[in-house]
Amino acid sequence: MTFETLASGYGLIEGPRVDADDNLYFSDVTNGGVYRRAPDGSVSTYVPKRRGVGGIAIHADGGLVISGRNICHVKDGETRVLFEQEDVGGFNDLFTDARGRVLVGSLRSDPFGNVDERPPGDLWRIDADGNAAILYGEIGLTNGIGFSPDGSKLYHSDSAARHIVVHDVDAHGNVSDRRVFARAQIGTPDGLAVDEDGCVLTASYGGSCVLRYMPNGKLDTMIPVPAEQVTSLCFGGADRRDLYVVTADNTDDPSLAGTIFRTRTDVPGLPVPLAQI
């Protein structure tokens, strides 16, 4: 695959998400801010300064749901806090289910710190009525989240354990039968996305690639990326075959720092439901 460079000069880029008008939203975790890249290539600031935004969702009523020290809905410059928890230091990657509920992983330690015994985080589900509940715990360092095409499986990257876990999901959204879906062959699993074939694509932080796993967990393809610290990815475009890959560095030109790349894939990504909380 050949990657084109869309934007660069950032710190650690995270949370890529594309809306119906093909605008790409992304965050700079270390330097702060949430940004919007328009189809013409222009980049504007959507949320200034906010640090630690690891996950972004498009809201059905407009605006974005973003993570960080809390979960909030930002629209037209106004911020509405949806969920916060006193004993949680922050929230990282997030995703939406078919009902528009938001699933987000909690952080109970510094994700950039050298922690020998890292307090594990949880996966929270925030409902439309504002109620939130823990679906499960024991995620050492929470990252990418996604569903299988039929919604029956929930995937979750645990970067501390260097594996992706999967749970079965029932009709009510409850989960069971936790197991390891795939163990990292290279690098550390970070953000993830699922395609229409049910394959799971994960950013390999420290591995200079994107890894594509078959639905049975076997490695299918390794896609080299011109960056070592590959942080996340998402699909976009009218046919959902544009694959956006974001990073915290650039090995072709280190001066470019965190970079947004784009390539084309044979298999479209799954559509991402809009948040409705």
Residue 214 tokens, joined: 């078959």
Task: For the full predicted model, state whether its pTM sits above 0.85.
Answer: yes
pLDDT at 113: 67
pLDDT score of 116 = 65
Q: What percent of the chain has pLDDT above 90?
A: 92
Does residue 103 register a pLDDT over 80?
yes
Range 4-264: architecture per CATH: 6 Propeller (2.120)
Q: Quote the pLDDT of residue 115.
A: 61
Confidence of residue 114 (pLDDT cuts 50, 70, 90): low
Q: Quote the mean pLDDT of the chain.
A: 96
pLDDT of residue 6: 98
pLDDT at 107 over 80: yes
Residue 102's pLDDT band, with cuts at 50, 70 and 90, is very high
d(CA 150, CA 198): 9
DSSP per-residue codes, 30-45 = TT--EEEE-TTS-EEE
Mean pLDDT value of segment 131-155? 97
Torsion angle in degrees (nearest 10) through CA of 42, 241, 203, 192: 110
Position 173, amino acid:
G
Could you report the per-residue pLDDT of 176-192, keeping only the tens digit for each?
999 999 999 899 999 99
Which region among 23-37, 76-90, 109-123 has the lowest average model confidence (pLDDT)?
Answer: 109-123
Q: How far, in Å, are 33, 41, 93, 156, 242 from residue 200 at the CA level? A: 28, 28, 16, 10, 16
Q: Residue 130's pLDDT band (boundaries 50, 70, 90)?
A: confident
Phi-psi region of 108 (alpha: psi -120 to 50; beta: other; left: phi over 0): alpha
Domain ranges of the chain: 4-264
- Using the predicted structure, report yes or no on whether residue 20 has a pLDDT greater than 90: yes
Q: What is the pLDDT of residues 241-276, one digit of tens each?
A: 999 999 999 999 999 999 999 999 999 999 999 999
Question: What tokens does 204 get?
Answer: 């390999």
